Structure 1
C-alpha cells in the first residue's frame, strides 16, 4: 500500500515537470534555448488563477494560462527570432520579468503580496483521498500524454521532420523550402502552451496562486530535457526520476529522521549529479541557440 501511495504521489508531482519538459524539448528541437521555462510556468500559473477566479471555472483558468503563456512566448520569440538577441540573456530576463510581474499583478488584482484567494479547481469533491482526487484533473492526463505524443509527432509526422531539420540544419531546411522563422515561432508557441499548462496544474491543484509557486520546477524540467538527451521518452523517465526524489524528500520531512535542510536538497542534488554524469556525453541539437 505504501508503495502504491508513493507511486501515485510521484505521478502527481511529475505532471508539471512532464509538461514543462515537453515544452523544453519542443523549444530546443527548433533551436531556441528553453531557459525561460520557469517564467512560462509561473505566468501560466498566474493566468490560470486569474481566469479561474473571475470566470468561476477551471476551464476558463486553462484558457487564461494559455493566453498568459502565449504573451510571454511572443515576447521571447520577437526578442530571439526577430531581433536575434542572445537566447540565454533573453531566457534569464523572461524569468526575472515574470517573477516581478506576477508579484505586481498579484498586489494589483488581489491586493495581496503572497497569494490569491481560493479559486475553483477540477473535480474530486466526492473522493476522500486527495491524491486519487488529483487524477480527476484533465491536466494530469494531458501531462502523462504530452511527451509520448510529442515523440510521435517528432518522428512520425512531416511537421516533426521539419522541426528536427530546423533544429539541426536550418540552412538545409530553408534550401528545401521550409520557412525557418515561422516554424520556430510555431514550435515556441507549442512549447509555451505546454509549459504554461504545467504552471496551470500547480495553481488549479492548489486552488490558488502563490508568489513564486513554481519554485525552480522550470529549471529542473530543463535539466530533465538535457538528462534525457532531447528524446521525449528518456525525458519522461528523467521527469519521473526527479519527481520520485521530491516525493522521497516530502516523506523524509514527515518522518523527521534527518534535518529538513538536508532533505530539501535531495531533488537539486540529484539534478546536479544527473547532469554531471550526462552533459559531457549528450549532444544537443546542432543549431541550438543559433538564430542567425
Structure 2
C-alpha cells in the first residue's frame, strides 16, 4: 500500500511534470456564471431569445449525451493506456443491437442490448491490442470498418428480408421497426415557475431561469443515467484504489506491474467499459428516434474523442466539451443562420476576455492574436445579418476546432497511452 500511495503521489495532478491542476469548484462555478452573463448580454444585444430558451437547452442536452458517452468511453480506455479510435464502430454496434431488440422487447431492453453490443466491440479491441499487441490505431480503424459492414449486412438480413416479421412491422434495409418511447419527465411546480420567470425576459434572471428549466422540463431518463455515469466515473477512477490502479496502467504499466497489479486485466476492464459506454451512446440515438437507422451515429464517436481531448481526460472536461458541441449543434438545427450569426458576437467577447487574461499573464503575442481574432469576428458580425447555410452546418465542428486550438497547451496525455506493453517488459 505504501508503494501504491507513492505511485499515486507521483501521478497526482499538479505534481512535477504532470501539468496544471484542474479547475476547483469555485472557479468552475465562476466560469459557468460568466458564460451565462455573456449569453444574457448577447441575447439582449441581438434579440435572439433562443440563445437561452429552454427548448434550445433541452435540445443541446439531447445532442450532447451520445457525444459525451463516447467521450467518457474514450476516457476509460486512454486512462488505462489504450487508444480507442473504434468508438464510432462500437456506437454502431450499440445502435444496431438497440434497434434489433427494442422493437421486440421495448426501449429499456434496447438500452441493455446497446450496452452489450458496444461492450463486445470493446472486448474485440482489448483482445487485439492487449493480448495480441496490434497497433491501437489499426485495431480501432478496423473495428470501425468491420462494424459498419456487419451492421449493414445484418440490417438487410433481419430488417429488410421480405416476408419477415421485422419487414412486416415496418423495417427495411436501412432501418428497424419502431419501438416504444421512453417518456420524458418534468418536475411539477418548479418547471412552470421557471418557465414563467423565463418569459419575463429580464436581464440575466430570465436567462438563468430558461437554462435551469431545461434541467427539470422534458428531461430524458437516459440523460439522468448519463449524468450518473459521469459522476460515478469520477468517483470510481479518482476516489478509489481500483481507479488509481487503472489510471496507473496508463501512466507507467511497468511500475504498476511491479506492485502486483494485473495490468492486462485492468486494460480489459477499461476497454469493455469503454465499449459499453459507446454502445449506450448508440442506444440513446436509437431510443431517441425509436428505431435503428443506417448512418445514424454520424461520426459522433470521433466527436467523442475530440471532447475527451478537450476535457483533458477528465470527466468534467468531457461533459463541458460535449455540452459545447451539443449547444452549437442545437443552435444550427433549431435556430439556423440568424441565431448562429449571434454567436459571432459571443465568441468575439469570449476571445476578447481571453486576450485580456493572456496579456495580464505576460503573453502579449498570444493576447494580440486573440484580440485580432476577436476584432475580425466583431467586424464579421457587423457586416452581415445571417450565416451561409454551409457555415451554419459546420459551426459545431469549427467551434470544437477553435476551442481545441486555444487550449491545446493545457492538455496532458496519459504518459503510456498508445505505447505497446508486454508483461515483464522493461520500460
> Contact (CA 8 Å) 1:51, 1:63: kept in 2 or not?
no
- 1:93 lines up with 2:142 in the alignment: yes
Match of 2:174 among 109, 114, 117: 114
Structure 2: distance between partners of 1:213 and 1:263: 20
RMSD: 2.2
Unpaired segments of 5 or more residues in structure 1?
none
Q: Contact 2:176/2:293 (CA < 8 Å) preserved in 1?
A: yes
CA distance in 2, matches of 1:216, 1:22: 16
The correspondence of residues 1-292 of structure 1 with structure 2, limited to 5 A, is 2=50, 3=52, 4-55=54-105, 57-111=106-160, 112-124=172-184, 135=219, 137-253=220-336, 257-292=386-421
Measure, in 2, the Cα distance between the counterparts of 1:15 and 1:125.
Answer: 17
Q: CA deviation at 1:291?
A: 3.1
Q: Deviations over 1:213-233 (max 9, x none)?
A: 010111111001001110111
Number of aligned residue pairs: give it.
287
Structure 2: state its 5+ residue gaps. 1-48, 161-171, 187-213, 340-385, 422-427
TM-score (norm 1): 0.92
Q: CA deviation at 1:279?
A: 3.3
Q: Distance in 2 between matches of 1:93 and 1:169?
A: 27
Q: CA deviation at 1:280?
A: 4.5
Give the superposition deviation at 1:145.
Answer: 2.2
Structure with higher Rg: it is: 2
CA distances 1:105-141 after superposition (whole Å, capped 9, x unpaired): 1111100332222122312499xxxx98852x43211
Q: Cα offset for 1:269?
A: 1.2
SS in 2 for 1:100: helix
For residues 160 and 267 of structure 1, what CA distance do their matches in structure 2 show? Answer: 33
Cα distance, 1:281 vs. partner?
Answer: 4.0
| Partner Cα separation in structure 1 for residue 239 and residue 107 of structure 2 | 33
Preserved contact between residue 118 and residue 207 of structure 1 (Cα < 8 Å): yes
Which portions of structure 1, spanning 4 or more consecutive aligned residues, are displaced by more than 6 angstroms?
none
Higher RCO (CA 8 Å, separation ≥ 6 residues): 1
Mean CA deviation greater in 10-19 or 158-167: 10-19
